[in-house]
Structure 1
């Protein structure tokens, strides 16, 4: 397996994403999404590996925007992915890889890109025609951003000051044109 070219550095933001092997589902029912989120808390948050800034879990892929807090991120993600895959394989009597290779990562080094990335992540379910409004997708951090739900995963305080209000963030997400620098991330359903 080729080595990852990206070097993870603490104190930086990264967009982490992956999809199902052969574009297949990675979530088969509501409990799978919930288990995935619990595993994120266990592997990434509780051991102080990363803050999750934004997330969206889609039927066949996921997006995480993280702020890295320690240097063992790749090992933690490998353990997290293996744990989730084993749980799914056991539950559904499957074997083999659930994900299409190792997770993908993009270093987010510009504030404007960071803000537009949250928009992209939160609009994913709308663009996939799963919901009409982004706040209607249960498996996204968008409801926390809008203060419609009290979640413990997203830590978006660092971005909140950029918008000054929930309404301003909603307007940004739902009315701003797509940022062309993020379009390359689209997964085919």
Structure 2
């Protein structure tokens, strides 16, 4: 049976989640994380897309992503991302077969509140998993690009969209965003997940 074709809206952000096959690790060492970022950078040079937030966990990753080209769907972008990373992974570890489990998950994110909630959730993944105490201690997420203005960010990152939801100077807006994440981190519970907004990967 043919798979149902995904529908998508250009210029709209989607929460993307992709998980390792059998929930196996996707990233075994820093070189794997860096290889994934290199793939994103390469693809961004050819396809116009932006990422507002990301977090690469051990066996899955989250992207808050949008395509800026009506002729280049998120399905095309993610198919290329996952295919290239799978090729890298299988070559590096001398494996064959599937690297990713099923197709990636995607959910349209609507409005300022929705964007902020999903971005917070993405950045809090390592804290919720007890991998770190603070978001900025985890090196494989985009949180530090929001917290520190001096942190050089890749071309595919767009932090302005979320920061512009707040008033004040650049420093004040960064502080307000980080405060909202930290406050949510202090009350990590299942409330937002029960609303059906987030895709959880255990």
Unaligned runs of 5+ in 1: none
CA deviation after TM superposition for structure 1 residue 97, in Å: 0.6
Pick one of 161, 179, 187 that aligns with 1:158: 161
CA deviation after TM superposition for structure 1 residue 6, in Å: 3.5
Which position in structure 2 is the counterpart of 1:78?
79
Provide the alpha-carbon RMSD of the alignment.
Answer: 1.8
Distance 1:55 1:4, change over 3 A: farther
Q: Do the aligned residues in 2 keep the contact of 1:117 with 1:182 (CA within 8 Å)?
A: no
CA distance in 2, matches of 1:182, 1:150: 34
CA deviation after TM superposition for structure 1 residue 4, in Å: 4.1
Distance 1:150 1:4, change over 3 A: farther
CA distance in 1, matches of 2:20, 2:197: 20
Say whether residues 1:174 and 2:190 are aligned partners: no
The normalised TM-score by structure 1 is 0.91
Aligned residues: 187
CA distance in 1, matches of 2:11, 2:157: 17
CA distance in 2, matches of 1:163, 1:64: 22
CA distance in 1, matches of 2:196, 2:152: 28
CA distance in 2, matches of 1:159, 1:51: 12
Q: How does 1:26-37 map to 2 (within 5 A)?
A: 26-37=26-37
Which position in structure 1 is the counterpart of 2:170?
none
SS at match of 1:10: coil
Q: Do the aligned residues in 2 keep the contact of 1:56 with 1:121 (CA within 8 Å)?
A: yes
Q: Do the aligned residues in 1 keep the contact of 2:118 with 2:198 (CA within 8 Å)?
A: no
Which position in structure 1 is the counterpart of 2:58?
59
